[in-house]
Amino acid sequence: MSQTLTLIRPDDWHLHLRDGAMLCAVLPETTRHFARAIIMPNLVPPVVTGADAQAYRSRIIAAMPEGADFTPLMTLYLTEDTDAQDVAAAHASGLITAVKLYPAGATTNSASGVADFDRVRGVLERMAEIGLPLCLHGEVTDPDIDIFDREAAFIDRVLDPLRRATPGLKTVLEHITTKDGVDYARSQDDLAATITTHHLIINRNHILVGGIKPHYYCLPVAKRESHRLALRAAATSGDSRFFLGTDSAPHTDMLKENACGCAGCFTASNTMAILAHVFEEENALERLEGFTSRHGPAFYGLPTNKATLTLSKGAAYTSPDKIPTDDGPVTVFDPGFELQWKVT
Ligand code: DOR
Ligand code: ZN
């Protein structure tokens, strides 16, 4: 007998749409299921000013598929030269929903990010005053820190001091990959953590055992199994501090299957089907709606969506493994199991 599940239409609180041909190819994969998404600003060059965000937003709207009902929630890329007044004006006009902080050198197109955190103090204080959330890529880049310890070190060395210095700053610790991230989020007020779909599925063995799997490589890199289990427990717990940010990050196969492959898993197409599978495995299907559709808007002070999305469970199937783009194919994240839930 087929089973159905109807949810408030979900939002994605961390998404890479890129630009140009890639934007046109991947946008429908998100608008098909999601009502809103926080749009990452790590383009080349990055989306730094209100004017940049306005122009990028227009390009996204122009690329929307016919009839799509989707709102891009824009962000600014914080640099050491960011002008607090420009940020406040972009917020006041309703153009932006958050500001994104990349530690310089932490990930894809983060070269213009922040190396000296004192230099962004004024902007962060202004954001706390006006209630504008900060989204954080939570990894240190210090060469003495092992890549698998970068998130835990970030919490101790950067995040905790930053939050003590800026009381009231609403903060999203994005794409957490560790029990340390889970525990920190549970200990804080005014802080939420997003969790990706892929970090609920893979641990570091999936990337490295039996040959290197470039399509499982992302940043922060997946950690050991005990961390994955902590993420699954957090995501399915019903705790409103945890919500979905897919970090769906398209790169062409040529750039992934490369001697120096890019970081990113592309999950926009099959995220909802995978999450239904995960939440069912954890006996928490009734909590999926909180994770995908309620906790995020509550944190951001936005209404939940009015529309719904229905999934049904039937015969096992595999979703398309690639999305064609004019730049070359993009491989869709392979969860390693057949899906039974399908968005109807
Ligand atoms: O895996 C990732 N890919 N992590 C990031 O932080 C950036 C993203 C990208 O833009 O490709
Ligand atoms: Zn990202």
CA-CA distance, 224 to 231, in Å (whole number)? 11
- Per the prediction, the chain carries an average pLDDT of 97
Work out how many domains the chain is built from and give that number. 1
Instruction: For residue 334, indicate whether it is catalytic.
Output: no
Ligand 1 in reach of 137 Cβ (< 6 A): yes
> Using a CB cutoff of 8 Å and minimum separation of 24, what contacts does 71-74 make?
71/35, 71/36, 72/17, 72/36, 72/37, 72/39, 73/36, 73/37, 73/38, 73/39, 73/97, 73/98, 74/39, 74/41, 74/47
Q: How far apart are CA 130 and CA 128, in angstroms?
A: 6
For residue 162, report the distance from its CA to the centre of ligand 1, in Å: 23
Provide the CATH number for the domain around residue 60.
3.20.20.140
- Rounded distance, CA 169 to CA 341, Å? 38
Ligand 1 geometric centre to CA of 3 (Å) = 35
Q: Say yes or no: CB of residue 108 within 6 Å of ligand 1.
A: yes
Q: Which atom of ligand 1 is nearest to the CA of 16?
A: 10
CA distance 98 to 141: 23
271 CB contacts (<8 Å, ≥6 apart)? 12, 33, 197, 244, 246, 248
Q: Is the CB of 41 under 6 A from ligand 1?
A: no
Whole-number pLDDT of residue 108: 85
Placement of tokens 């060469």 in the chain = 143
- Quick check: CB of 249 below 6 Å from ligand 1? yes
Query: How many residues would you count in the chain?
Result: 344
How much is the pLDDT for 1? Answer: 55
Ligand 1 pocket, mutate which of 17, 107, 195, 251 (most atoms under 8 A from CB): 107
Binding site membership of 112 for ligand 1 (Cβ less than 6 Å) = no
Distance 266 CA to ligand 1 centre (A): 10
Which ligand sits closest to the CA of 252? 1
Find the 336 Cα to ligand 2 centroid distance in Å.
22
Q: CB of 166 closer than 6 A to ligand 1?
A: no
* 88 CA from centroid of ligand 2 (Å): 23
Strands lying side by side in the sheet with 3-8: 3-8, 308-317, 339-343
Which ligand 1 atom is at minimum distance from the Cα of 220?
4
Q: What are phi and psi of 53, to 5 degrees?
A: -65, -40
Spans of the chain, pLDDT less than 70 = 1
The pair of structure tokens assigned to 201 is 């599925």
Q: Which atom of ligand 1 lies nearest, measured to the CA of 106?
A: 6
Cis bond before residue 220 (omega within 30° of 0): yes
Q: Which long-range contacts (CB under 8 A, 24 or more apart) does 112-116 make?
A: 112/45, 112/46, 112/48, 112/77, 112/79, 113/77, 113/78, 113/79, 113/137, 114/78, 114/79, 114/80, 115/80, 116/80
Per annotation, catalytic residue among 183, 247, 327, 334: 247
Q: What distance in Å separates the CA atoms of residue 177 and residue 221, rounded to the nearest whole number?
A: 8
Identify whether the C-beta of residue 228 lies closer than 8 Å to the C-beta of residue 202: yes
pLDDT for position 107:
86
Structural domain range at position 219: 3-343
Query: Using CA atoms, how far apart are residues 239 and 14, in angstroms rounded to an integer?
Result: 19
Sequence-distant (≥ 6) Cβ neighbours of residue 83 within 8 angstroms: 49
Q: Edge to edge, what strands does the sheet with 11-15 contain? A: 11-15, 36-39, 71-77, 96-101, 134-136, 171-173, 191-195, 242-244
Ligand nearest to the CA of 15: 2
